[in-house]
Structure 1
Amino acid sequence: MNTELPALILGGLAAGFAIFSIGLAAVIGPKRFNRAKLEPYECGIEPTPHAVGGGPGTAAGQRFPVKYYLTAMLFIIFDIEIVFLYPWAVHFDALGVFGLAAMALFVLNVSVAYAYEWRRGGLSWD
């Protein structure tokens, strides 16, 4: 129990801070609501009553822009890959030359994927 106590205390502090922040925002935050704020957030896409895509047997829909979602997925992929650098940084001394070579290959792999995505135009906002 002694080894887990600091983690439990930190988790309790994090949960308490989250609950306190949400409660404080609800109490002292602005209460001015308008029609635009009450509408669902659609990422800039105007909601339509028709089916999206316009496949066979459906109403004629519009093409659904997926650029926002592709950018979000790229962010998640590269963010998760970069998280693997933290354990390496913590145990840098203990891993030796093998750890350095493995991390160099990993960083090279991430860099090649990043350069490919950059060349393909996946990172530009049109």
Structure 2
Amino acid sequence: MHIAYIVVTVLAAVAAAVAAAIDVVRPQWLLDNMQNYGIPAQMLGLLGVIKAIGALGLLVGLAIPPIGLAAAIGLVLYFLGAVVTIVRARMYSDIAYPLPWLMLAAGSLGLFVAT
């Protein structure tokens, strides 16, 4: 079980870091999505920082478990918020976008609790 926790946590950290990098690059499709969701483009920097801190926290948490737990909880809440934001914007076709990130963060959290 411990190996599964490490693998899923590293994958979740990499995924969150990639999502943070996308926020930094600000491709046009992301800017369009943010506008459709009613989120100002100026928020992308903060959202990227939150994801980057979550990614770092997951990795640090492999050595310091309370930090990993906090990071996993934070990322689960973050990506649940992304799902809620998409639903509130009635952009149902976009609902699948945050789900892989949410599932990885939830998997890390679940495996942490299980180990």
TM-score w.r.t. length of structure 2: 0.37
Q: Which has the higher contact order (CA 8 A, sep 6+)?
A: 2
Higher helix residue share: 2
Looking at CA atoms only, which structure, 1 or 2, has the larger radius of gyration?
1
TM-score w.r.t. length of structure 1: 0.34
